[in-house]
Amino acid sequence: MFAYVIRRVFIGVILLIVMSLVTFVLFFASPVDPGRYACGKNCSPAQIEQTNKALGYDKPVIEQWTDFLKGVVVGREYPDDPALRAAAPQLVVECPAPCLGYSVVNSVTVNEELKERFPLSLSLALAALLMWVTGGVLFGVIAAVRKGTIVDRGIVALSLIFYAFPAFFIGLFLLKFVAIKWEIVPVPVYTPIAEGGLGLWLQGLFLPGLTLALLYMAGYVRMTRAFVLESMSEDYVRTARAKGLKSRKVLTKHSMRAALTPLVTMIGLDFAGLMGGAIITETVFNYNGLGKLAVDATVTYDLPTIIGLVLLLGTFVIVANIIVDVLYAVIDPRVRVG
């Protein structure tokens, strides 16, 4: 098992390095001149050149990339120009390892940006996860148990409806009508636990979390239903029934345990993806998490932030994959890894 995990981690690191290179190359393949972009209006070619130099964009792409990797390992100092750093120490920004770069658009290191935005995205992902897993599994099991009844059909139909609506529609509906027009709940504002306590934190996460949960829940209802039905026809379930176990015990002890295994894979991957930012939901609710940061960074050609986000999201997915694989063995005794 240990060797397996080490091997997976090693492959993950290689993958991240390749991802960073691809992002660099894609950025510089675009016709946008980042120096012109940052320099401002009325800039002469000489000024644009100087801006490119100050930002380090005058170097070959590979050199910039290796500088970036070096920063990840040993840290970096900004501005990029060593002569300027020596002449004006007050300008120097220390970026300790693992340094993901410095955003000239936001005048801050990428690490600080990510650190600042991550708690919101994590909170939102947790709130959504709680809602969709609870709702998805509960309604999925109910539908399976009541297979063929009106309850089953109703749950399946509703889940299809929510599945069909895009996140921006659900989010806008909840924001515009439930919060603003009907004033059923306050217009959501994210308040960290440290600032407003648990109550305000949960209140702020309710509508955005529900937006994501409704979207994800629909899929989970249908899958839970299918997995539970499938497992209920397995031999070991039939055996359990034959032994005289109560239906509830058969369901919880035998059917669901097997049915949950594939769901855990999905939960892990979905949660990891959400931690990297729920772009649409964060944008609709003006929640400054990693998703909104990604949108802003893309619009402003903020290369360091884009790379930082790509690597962070990539790391989440890779780590989640490893954890999920390991969890398989814990949840389902039939599975053995390694």
Partner 1 sequence: MFKYRKRVFAVSAAVALAASLAACGGSSDSSDGDGTSGAPTSDEKGGTLNYLIFAPIEHLDPQRVYVGRDITNLSRTVYRTLVAFPISDDPEVANTPVPDLATDTGTNEDGGKTWSFTVKDGVKWEDGEPVTCEDFKYGASRAFATDVITGGPNYILSYLDIPTDDSGLPAYKGPYTGEGQELFDKAVTCDGNTITYHFNKPWPDFPLAIAGLHMMDPYREDKDNGDKSNFQIFSNGPYKLDGAWDKASGGTFVRNDNYDESTDSPDLRRALPDSIVFNIGQTTETIYDQMIQDSGDAQTSVTSQSVPPPYYNQIEGPVADRSVNIDSPYTYYLVPHFRTEAMSNPAVRQALAVSTNADAYVAAIGGDKAAGVAESIVNPAVVGYQENPAFAGSNAGDPEAAKQILEDAGVSMPVKITYTYPSSETNDKAAAALKDTWDQSGFEVTLDGLGDTYYDVIQKPTKESDVIWGGWGADWPSAITVTAPLFDSRPNLTKNSDGQDYGAYDSDEFNALVDEAQNASDLDAQTAALQQADVLLGEDVAYIPLTTTKFYMLYGSKVTNYTTTPASNGYPDLGAIGVES
CB count within 10 Å of CB 326 equals: 15
Q: Which residue from 23, 38, 99, 121 is in contact with partner 1, where contact means CB under 8 A?
A: 38
List, as one string, the DSSP characters of 68-128: HHHHHHH-EEESS-HHHHHH-GGG-EEE-SS---EETTTTEEHHHHHHHHHHHHHHHHHHH
Pick the piece of the chain touching partner 1 (CB under 8 A) from 28-36, 139-147, 222-230, 236-244: 28-36
Q: Which two tokens stand for residue 134?
A: 């609870």
Cβ neighbours of 172 (radius 10 Å): 15
When asked if residue 184 is in the footprint of partner 1 (CB under 8 A), the reply is no
Tokens at 86, concatenated: 């020596």
Q: Which residue in 20, 23, 64, 106 binds partner 1 (CB under 8 A)? A: 106
Residue from 29, 157, 164, 181 binding partner 1 (CB under 8 A): 181
Q: Which residues contact 328 (CB under 8 A, 6 or more apart)?
A: 261, 264, 265, 335, 337
Q: Which of 64, 68, 63 is nearest to 101 (CA)?
A: 68
Of 51 and 224, CB closest to partner 1: 51
Tell me how far, at minimum, the Cβ of 46 lies from partner 1, in Å.
Answer: 4
- Binding letters toward partner 1, positions 283-322, x by CB under 8 A: xx-x-x---xx--x--xxx---------------------
Size of the site for partner 1 (CB under 8 A): 50
- 123 touches partner 1 by CB under 8 A: no
Query: Segment near partner 1 (CB under 8 A), from 101-109, 124-132, 138-146, 194-202?
Result: 101-109
Of 264, 265, 281, 306, which is closest to residue 125 (Cα–Cα)?
281
Q: Which of 323, 296, 320, 278 has its CA nearest to residue 120?
A: 278
Phi and psi at residue 220, to the nearest 5°: -70, -35
Q: In whole angstroms, how close is the CB of 68 to partner 1 at the nearest point? A: 19
- The residue (of 301 and 328) whose beta carbon lies closer to partner 1 is 301
Residue from 15, 93, 138, 200 binding partner 1 (CB under 8 A) = 93
Footprint of partner 1 on 48-67 (CB under 8 A): 49-51, 53-54
176 scored as a contact of partner 1 (CB under 8 A)? yes
Verify binding: residue 203, partner 1, rule CB under 8 A: no
Q: How many residues are given for the chain? A: 338
Query: How far from the centroid of its chain's Cα atoms is residue 241's Cα?
Result: 41
- CB of 107 within 8 A of CB of 91? no
Find the part of the chain contacting partner 1 (CB under 8 A) among 79-87, 124-132, 224-232, 328-336.
79-87
Return d(Cα 186, Cα 168) in angstroms, integer. 19
Hey, which residues between 141 and 160 contact partner 1 (CB under 8 A)?
none
Helices assigned H by DSSP within 233-285: 235-242, 247-249, 256-275, 279-284
Q: Which stretch binds partner 1 (CB under 8 A): 43-51, 151-159, 239-247, 315-323?
A: 43-51
Residues in the site for partner 1, rule: CB under 8 A? 30-33, 36-47, 49-51, 53-54, 79, 81, 83-84, 87-88, 90-91, 93, 104-107, 175-176, 180-181, 183, 187, 283-284, 286, 288, 292-293, 296, 299-301
